[in-house]
Structure formats: structure tokens, C-alpha cells
Amino acid sequence: MAEKSPAADVEAGLLAHLNSAGEVPDSRSFASSLGVSHLELVGVIKSLSAFRIVESKDIIKEAWVLTEEAKGYVAKGSPEAQLVAAIPPEGVSKDALKAKLGDAFDVGMKAAARNKWIGFEKGNKDLVLRKVESVMDELQEQLRRLENGEAVPDKVIDDLKRRKLITKEKSIWHSLKKGPEFVLKRKTLATDVTTEHLRSGDWKDLEFKDYNYGAQGQPIAKGYVQPLMEVREAIENIFIMMGFTEMPTNNFVESSFWNFDALFQPQQHPARDSHDTFFLNAPATTQQLPEDYLEKVKLVHQSGGYGSKGYVYDWKRDEAEKNLLRTHTTAVSTRMLYKLAQEKPFAPKRYYSIDRVFRNEAVDRTHLAEFHQIEGLICDYGLTLGDLIGVLEDFFSSLGMSKLRFKPAYNPYTEPSMEIFSYHDGLKKWVEVGNSGMFRPEMLLPMGLPEGVNVIAWGLSLERPTMILYGIDNIRDLFGPKVDFNLIKSNPLCRLGL
């Protein structure tokens, strides 16, 4: 049963008034006649209109309201009037006036001088004299009129606006009349059958509130999965369905050797600059490198082999030993391929990884200094570019991207290389979704992989498809310290495309 509350009194008052007078032309003055705030009355009006007990029409008006400063002038007089009132018949020094008037001094001096209410003694600019007996405080009067809702000439309004004494505010109030379901007293509808109702038997006569099938359910107090993790899992499942095995990616710190050199990336390549890569201060270098293999990598850079001329430069071990935060998960793929090459006899493999990489990039709406990379590779005899295209089509169509285009590209470690574009139906354009290629013999043969074994591989970021799927256009809303927990909680369970 509803308890008697102030709102119930307001409701009773409003309904009684409508019953006798038939209408309330202005909810604001009605609220003050009841002695309640307008806001309180509006709450009651909303609830009564929902049941069509009253019919409410909005009245929207823009009106000038006084600023805090102006309200002070209404109470204490305009600065110019305050100033004149503070001048004794014998005059007063500027400093003394300033001390008395505070903030109002400067404005008051100017306006009073303009009105010729004050003057100065000859030869003594510091002594302020009063030149009128009493003043008519026009400003105070105008402000008072505005406050009472009386008409004020436009010229005055312009003047008050310029002095920042008034601002325009939108106010909404309501006119009310009886609605089709009007009653003097609302019946309280029961929402539940209680033990009390059953015992007394009055449940038979109760009127029950209708079920609201449109109401939202209780939010469930549970953990929520970050969108990146949702998409990561979906992609993992695709890899697993396609027969791929996950690679161990649990080393953010990598040596330049595995991140670059083993990938046939020359030591003077711009990506190896500190502008693009985060190098470690401590430990700055790595000592554990596979010596035999390192020697082969050195030779292929310096003088080639396996049908290649190499880059023809002086390869430096120091450079290869530098520790860094891995710039791509291809470093992991390289380690895995090297490991695979050591296992005899050779067995074909399909590997994938999804983990974090780091780049020394300027952070903006689409770039972060750390992000996640998805990478897949297949290592087998006789693979061709056609196999790569086929696998990419399988993989991306499982992601909901079935219209693909490929563009020739360059990576130091793949030849040929292709950028992957997908047509996005929502954005109505082709967007770049990944990079791919066939690993070069200069990379694979020094590892000891048999002749005739090829590796097709591709990589993409996890953030990019996630942003597209969730309609997020600033990467910082998705990943990093600015992510809003509510975004994570309110993400749709179903997404189009994946």
C-alpha cells in the first residue's frame, strides 16, 4: 500500500483543483500556490499523464534571467549607486572607496563618472567628490523589473547583456486539463499478492497492475569480457577450426636478432631505428643466441647464398644483440619455424598467435604504442601464392569479410607480399585489414628447413577489426587507461560480421 507522502499530497491537491476549476494554465504558479517546487509537481504530472488522468501541454519559453552579479545589484544597488552612497559630503580618497566597495569599485567609478554623479577636486585627482544629492538607481530598477517578468525596452536588454548581467534561459512548464481517465483519487493498483492478501481474502477484489513486458531486466552483477578479448576468442576459434596450433608468445622482450635479423631485415632498415622501436636499457643486450644459426644469418645478410646476393654490408653482432620490445609477433613465428627446422623428419605445421606488440609511434585516434597482433602461418612443401589467397579467403570470410582484394606490397621477409583489403558494407569502402606474404628463402633456408618447403603467412591487428565490429572510432576508447567500464558492460552480445 502506498504510504502518504508529500507527492501524494501534491497529487491530491492537483486533482482536486482540476476537478473544481477544470484546468491549470501555468504549472509554475500552481506549484507555488501549493508551496512545492516546480520539479516536484512535474514528477506528479508525469505520473498522472502516463495514466491519462491528466493531459499536459508543454509551454516552452526563453526568458532573461539575472546572473549572480546582477542579483547582488538588486539587493545592494548598482555599483554606481553604491559608490555615490559611499562618498561623504567632504569627499573621499580613491583608496578608501576601493576598500569599501571591493569588486564594484572599477565599474562603479566608470558608470558614476559617465552619469556625472562624481567629480574631482582641482589639482587633487585622488579625492572623489559627490556632485549630486541623491541618485535614481536606474540599473537596479531595470534588473528588478526583469526579475519580476515585467517588460523592459530592447535597448536596456542589449545593455544588460553586454554587461553580462543577464543570460537567456529556456524554461519549460505545463498547462493541464483533465485527461480521459480523470479520477479524483487514483486507485492504488496492487503489484504483488502478499501473505496478508491471501489470509484476509481481499486478493479477490484487488486490482492488479499490468505487467510491463517492455521493462528492462535487472542488470546482472557479473564480470564482463573486454571487446578485444571477445574478438580474440572468436578469432582463436576460427584458427582452431582451420587446424592451427597456438604459438607461445609469452615474451614481450625480444632480441633484435629474432625480431629483425633472422627475418632477413637489414641492420640499417628504418624500422630498426629507436624512433620506431623501443629498445631496452637494462638488460640492453642478449647473450643467448644460437651460434651456428647466427653465423648463417650473418652470411646471408652479408653475401647472400641460396640463390640470393644478400644485402652486401658488414653485419654486426652488436646490433643483433640489442634487446627490444617485440615490434611484431613475426618474431615468435620465426623462433617457431627455427625450432620446427631442427625437428627431423620435417612435418608440416599450421601455427597462429594473438598477442601484444610495441611500436614507438605517435599516439592518435587509430594508433597506440602497444596493440595486439594476430598472425597465422602454414609451413609445408610446395605452397604457392594461390594457397595463400585461398587460406586468406577462408580465414577472412569466417570473420565476416568475404569481399577481399590484394595489393602488392613489400616486407623484407616476404616475397611476394600482399596487403589485404576488405570491402566494408557499413562504411561502404575498402579498408586495409592485414598484410601477408610468402617467407623468403633467405629467411627459411638458413634455419635448416628442407628445400621445397614454403611458408605462407599473414598478420593483422586485433584492434582494427574490433573497432569496425563495435563501431568504435577512437582506439583509446577500446584499449588503455581511458577505457570506460560502462562501455564494456553495455556492449552488444551479438555483433554483425563475427
Contacts of 172 by beta carbon, 8 Å cutoff, 6+ apart: 58, 59, 60
Rg (CA), the chain: 40
Contacts of 245 by beta carbon, 8 Å cutoff, 6+ apart: 349, 350, 351, 352
Instruction: Look up cell 504530472; give the residue.
Output: 45
Which CA distances in Å does 100 have to 83, 95, 112, 147, 165? 9, 9, 16, 27, 22
Verify binding: residue 437, ligand PHE, rule CB under 6 A.
yes
Verify binding: residue 457, ligand PHE, rule CB under 6 A.
yes
Residue nearest to ligand PHE (CB): 459
Which CA distances in Å does 63 have to 60, 151, 261? 10, 11, 73
Count of positions on this chain that bind ligand PHE (CB under 6 A): 11
Minimum distance from residue 406 beta carbon to ligand PHE (Å): 12
Beta-strand ranges (E) seen in 207-361 are 245-246, 253-255, 323-325, 349-358
Minimum distance from residue 315 beta carbon to ligand PHE (Å): 21
Residue from 91, 132, 83 nearest 109 by CA:
83
Verify binding: residue 264, ligand PHE, rule CB under 6 A.
no
- Is 276 or 425 the residue whose CB approaches ligand PHE more closely? 276
Verify binding: residue 328, ligand PHE, rule CB under 6 A.
yes
Binding to ligand PHE (CB under 6 A) within 295-324 occurs at none
Binding segment toward ligand PHE, per CB under 6 A, in 112-120, 234-242, 306-314, 451-459 = 451-459
Minimum distance from residue 50 beta carbon to ligand PHE (Å): 57
Q: Binding residue for ligand PHE (CB under 6 A) from 459, 462, 466, 479?
A: 459
Cα dihedral 295, 296, 299, 305 in deg (nearest 10): 160
Binding segment toward ligand PHE, per CB under 6 A, in 192-200, 334-342, 430-438, 470-478 = 430-438
Residues of 236-255 as b/e, b for ≥16 C-beta within 10 angstroms? bebbeeeebeebebeeeebb
Contacts of 296 by beta carbon, 8 Å cutoff, 6+ apart: 446
Verify binding: residue 249, ligand PHE, rule CB under 6 A.
no
- Is 159 or 393 the residue whose CB approaches ligand PHE more closely? 393
Verify binding: residue 458, ligand PHE, rule CB under 6 A.
yes
**Bond from prior residue into 248 cis (ω within 30 degrees of 0):** no
- Is 142 or 259 the residue whose CB approaches ligand PHE more closely? 259
Verify binding: residue 355, ligand PHE, rule CB under 6 A.
no
Grid cell of 406 as nine digits: 590484394
Verify binding: residue 414, ligand PHE, rule CB under 6 A.
yes
Verify binding: residue 330, ligand PHE, rule CB under 6 A.
yes
Minimum distance from residue 211 beta carbon to ligand PHE (Å): 55
Minimum distance from residue 305 beta carbon to ligand PHE (Å): 22
Verify binding: residue 82, ligand PHE, rule CB under 6 A.
no
Verify binding: residue 435, ligand PHE, rule CB under 6 A.
yes
Verify binding: residue 286, ligand PHE, rule CB under 6 A.
no
Site pattern 360..379 for ligand PHE (x: CB under 6 A): ---------------x----
* Rounded CA separation 10/24 (Å): 14
Q: Can you tell me whether residue 417 is helix, strand or coil?
A: strand
Cα dihedral 243, 249, 254, 257 in deg (nearest 10): -10
Q: Are 477 and 483 in contact (CB under 8 A)?
A: yes
Binding segment toward ligand PHE, per CB under 6 A, in 31-39, 240-248, 380-388, 456-464 = 456-464
Binding segment toward ligand PHE, per CB under 6 A, in 69-77, 142-150, 229-237, 457-465 = 457-465
Verify binding: residue 79, ligand PHE, rule CB under 6 A.
no
Q: Parallel, antiparallel, or unpaired: how do β-strands 349-358 and 429-439 relate?
A: unpaired
- Is 437 or 465 the residue whose CB approaches ligand PHE more closely? 437
Minimum distance from residue 271 beta carbon to ligand PHE (Å): 9
- Is 105 or 396 the residue whose CB approaches ligand PHE more closely? 396
* Rounded CA separation 112/100 (Å): 16
Residue from 277, 267, 397, 253 nearest 320 by CA:
267
Grid cell of 199 as nine digits: 489470509
Verify binding: residue 265, ligand PHE, rule CB under 6 A.
no
Binding segment toward ligand PHE, per CB under 6 A, in 10-18, 153-161, 229-237, 434-442 = 434-442
- Is 142 or 333 the residue whose CB approaches ligand PHE more closely? 333
Verify binding: residue 441, ligand PHE, rule CB under 6 A.
no
Which CA distances in Å does 139 have to 106, 115, 158, 171, 236? 16, 12, 13, 25, 74
Minimum distance from residue 260 beta carbon to ligand PHE (Å): 11
- Is 53 or 388 the residue whose CB approaches ligand PHE more closely? 388
* Rounded CA separation 204/438 (Å): 79
* Sheet containing 118-121: order of strands: 92-93, 124-130, 118-121
- Is 101 or 231 the residue whose CB approaches ligand PHE more closely? 231
Which chain residues interact with ligand PHE by CB under 6 A? 328, 330, 375, 411, 414, 435-437, 457-459
